[in-house]
Amino acid sequence: MFKSGDPRLSSRADVEIAAIVREPGLGSVGIMICDLSITGFRMRSLTRLTGEKPIFLKLPSFAALESKICWQEGDYFGCEFLKSLHPAVYSHIIAKYPSLEKIDR
C-alpha cells in the first residue's frame, strides 16, 4: 500500500543487492540496492553520480538495465527504469535476494 501522496507507481521490496552502475563517460561504480520495484530502485553509492545521463544497472546474472536518476539525498539515489521489469523477472530477483530482517536492539 502507498502512503498518501506517494508518487510511486508500484510497491517496493526491501533488498540488499551489491550491484554495479555505469554512467556513460564515468565508468562503473559499485553500489548497494536498498529497495526494488518493477519501475525502479533506491541505491546507495559512495561515488558521486551526475544524473545528467541515463545509467545502466548491472545486477549479478542479469543484462544491464537502463535507468535514470530521479532524486538524490546524501549517498542515496532514487532511480527509475526506462523500461519496467517484467513481473516474473521482478519476482525472480526478490526470491534470489530476500527482504532484510530488521532487528530492534
- Matching residue, cell 536498498: 34
3-state secondary structure of 1: coil
- pLDDT score for 26: 82
Domains of the chain, by residue range, sit at: 13-96
Cell of 81: 527504469
Domain 13-96, CATH among 3.40.50.720, 2.40.10.220, 3.30.110.70, 2.60.120.260: 2.40.10.220
- pLDDT score for 6: 46
**Does the structure show a pLDDT above 60 at 3?**
no
Cβ pair 35, 70 in contact under 8 A: no
**Does the structure show a pLDDT above 90 at 87?**
yes
**Does the structure show a pLDDT above 50 at 4?**
no
Sequence letter at residue 24: P
Condensed to tens digits (0 to 9), the pLDDT of residues 19-74 reads 999 998 888 999 999 999 999 999 999 988 888 889 999 988 889 999 999 999 99
* Mean pLDDT value across residues 79-90: 95
